[in-house]
Chains A and B, each alone.
Chain A
């Protein structure tokens, strides 16, 4: 078994592969495709909302667009992108030959195209005029998703099951790889933070994806087998659905942000040329965020109606999360303090992440306060909040990571002109898109409604311009990735970034990284 295999020839390489780098590439390409699909759905939403009144789509189709945009972006774009980064980087960062369970790794990936063909087919069919795609919001609250839902809901349910199986297997692979395949000397507290944040993310995934599976299973039996989990006439409760959904849903938002924390914690030291200010405090902060995420879920349900003690408990717990999050932000800032900083594209995205994510964090803190949430709930303020943390947070973290590691993957530097253009366009348009949403939200514009009162017209026109601009800017990313993927660009050294060698094992292997790395583990001193 000693000799090295190169990749298989042709399509079989991608269909049958067990190689972590191939599978990482598959995940990233799939995620990019879903990012554009989700983006197209968002463009439909912004086209309708550009002017007051109904002009582009009918309200039911609008509901399908908001629902599918959310589902595709969360489960199709963000989560698979992180798994792709994990596949590529974790084995290289800990000195492992591959992921611990390579065949299962391939299975985790190939379930995703199956799951999303099912979900996407209902969107396409609805667009062509056959039936309705899911239209109950990405949170699929009962009874909208049970009693009043279209027939495609059952297909949605099984596609969630498949995504869940995929995520759980992917997460098990990450945990086992990290616990069992670290090179000698790579103690837990020497692991790069990206590995740490992914370890904790994987734990969250294994803990909450099964709960989501349970929720959709109860939906299925309520829809077809006469059970009454979410039906008060049978002794159940629609509010039960919200509890179960958010018990999954809140850890889920951390699943979508923790790996970005890891990426940013890798990038900022490199371009500040200083070690991370407080490594251990970052690890503990990540772990506390993850643990707290299990006891805050009902902050999504203040207006649903909770017993007073419950509302207070969930308010205080939620506000507590700002402490470990603050530890992180101060850590990043302190790392940059008096560093000899340079501003390559990954660093630019990391800086934008720190600033814009913090804005999203602040609006989150505002939403955490129960009495204030009564005013903000179900308005565009909430939309502004979670898009700041998920687009200029999670997605910017992914962009930063892709630019940071792309030279290692491909052996060439990305096209710097295009990459800079991508950064500036994305950053300007993302703020034009989401910042005014705070204002219209505070003024009372409800979310998920295809029409609005006239006083919101000017803001919404600008928001739509920001949306189209942000969407089109992503074509620049596509161009950069295709160019680099085809090996067009300046050849890079093994170290890629000046002085990067001391920040991680991935910078000690050749660029582009060979098909197999660390078949015999390195020794870490």
Chain B
């Protein structure tokens, strides 16, 4: 292993950030057009929005790949000092903290609705007249199976698929840690094997989650527009699923990099970042399982 650089490497310039901005702008504009065209907000049946969205996604994937390629090249050329490694680590930790706060907003909404809004609608506290004048028939319960407006749904039980998914995801966190130990020990065959198993578990989780959504929509009547229970259910599990997808993508990249031998015992920040992210989505899932499915 060659010596690490001693000065802090500042890349001279990079075209990728501005292209990433343009791609992201295209992506969100396409998304808005697509949503508006397909939810009757605008009388327009064109398909421009969907196309723009896909162009934006493709642009983001391309630009970020080129960007990461640059950083990987720098890392392999030992241009990164130990100090820079710390910067990357800190950056990733604070990014995960921002993600924690993103989920906090949705969990906050869930707790507020369960503990305050729904009981208030049913007349709790000083809200007797709210209930009497607006929806006298309404009774509070959680999961909220009948909304004040009269929409009904069935609840998603915790002990079937959700429990299996919990076991899958926790197991994948453990196998991910085994892979980490293998990286530190410099055992490439082992790290590839454990990473592979982690990936299989991660993708299995996603497939099962997709199956659960289908079950919710087709059999339970549990949909996005089935009232606040469906809203919180899909918002929390949906964003979690999106994060699992991102984490799995990172780990997939790590899988191929580890097969190429990029991950060495003293230079594997990228792997650690992906692993931290994976543990983070895992912890979020445990909270989801407790507060969305179980209690």
Contact = CB atoms under 8 A, between A and B. Distances in A.
B121 A206 contact: no
Interface stretch (A95-103, A343-351, A373-381, A401-409): A95-103
B42 interface: yes
A239 B116 CA distance: 11
A486 interface: no
B121 A151 contact: no
Given A172-B95, A181-B8, A240-B113, A206 B18 contact: no
B125 A172 contact: no
A151 B98 contact: no
B119 to A, nearest CB: 11
Nearest to B125: A307
Given A5-B12, A158-B32, A224-B41, A168 B17 contact: no
Contacts of A210: 98-99, 101-102, 104-105
Contacts of A180: 83, 86-87, 90
Contacts of B98: 168, 172, 206-207, 209-210
A181 B87 contact: yes
Interface in A61-111: 96-98, 100-104, 106-107, 110-111
Contacts of B109: 214, 218, 229, 240, 244
B227 interface: yes
B289 interface: no
B10 A102 contact: yes
Contact of B32 (A113, A154, A214, A307): A154
A158 B90 contact: no
B225 A226 contact: yes
Contacts of A243: 108, 112
Contact of B227 (A154, A171, A228): A228
A211 B104 contact: yes
Q: Which range contains the number of A residues in contact with the other chain?
A: 35 or more
Contacts of B87: 100-101, 176, 180-181
Contacts of B62: none
Interface residues of B, number: 75
A154 B11 contact: no
A236 B113 CA distance: 6
Contact of B13 (A12, A175, A520): A12
Contacts of A118: 25, 28-29
Given A16-B18, A214-B102, A1 B224 contact: no
Interface string B4-29: 01011111111111101110110011
Contact of B231 (A114, A214, A228): A228
A501 interface: no
Contacts of A97: 7-8, 10
A208 interface: yes
Given A180-B83, A235-B228, A206 B112 contact: no
Interface of B is mostly: helix
A224 B42 CA distance: 11
A102 B11 CA distance: 7
B176 interface: no
B101 A233 contact: no
B150 to A, nearest CB: 9
Interface string B30-62: 011001100101100000000000000000000
Interface in B243-276: none
Given A180-B83, A181-B87, A210-B99, A162 B7 contact: no
A127 B117 CA distance: 40
Contacts of B22: 114
A1 B17 contact: no
A180 B232 CA distance: 39
Interface stretch (B141-149, B162-170, B185-193, B213-221): B141-149
Max chain A Cβ within 10 angstroms of own Cβ: one of B5, B8, B67, B234: B8
Contacts of B12: 5, 18
Contacts of A111: 21, 24
Contacts of A229: 109, 113, 228, 231-232, 235
Interface string A341-383: 0000000000000000000000000000000000000000000
Interface of A is mostly: helix
A8 B41 CA distance: 47
Contacts of A307: 125-126
A227 interface: yes
A232 B113 CA distance: 10
29 contacts: A1-B79, A18-B12, A97-B8, A97-B10, A101-B91, A110-B18, A111-B24, A114-B22, A151-B36, A154-B35, A158-B29, A208-B101, A211-B102, A211-B105, A213-B102, A218-B106, A221-B235, A224-B39, A227-B225, A227-B230, A229-B231, A233-B135, A234-B231, A235-B148, A236-B113, A236-B117, A237-B120, A243-B112, A307-B125
Nearest to B114: A235
Contacts of B113: 229, 235-237, 240
A155 B35 CA distance: 11
B36 A107 contact: no
Contacts of A232: 117, 121, 134, 148
Contacts of B126: 307
Contacts of B148: 232-235
Contacts of B36: 151, 154, 224
Nearest to B116: A237
Interface string A4-17: 01001000110111
A161 B228 CA distance: 23
B229 interface: yes
A207 to B, nearest CB: 5
B9 to A, nearest CB: 6
A151 B17 contact: no
B24 A162 contact: yes
A158 B101 contact: no
B104 to A, nearest CB: 7
B231 A107 contact: no
B231 A244 contact: no
A96 B87 CA distance: 13
A58 B143 CA distance: 46
Contacts of B9: 1
Nearest to A171: B94
B24 A225 contact: no
Nearest to A202: B94
B18 A235 contact: no
Contact of B16 (A103, A117, A179, A247): A103
Given A154-B32, A237-B112, A244-B105, A114 B24 contact: yes
A214 B90 contact: no
B105 A107 contact: no
Nearest to B224: A225
A110 B21 contact: yes
A28 B87 CA distance: 25
Contacts of A519: 7
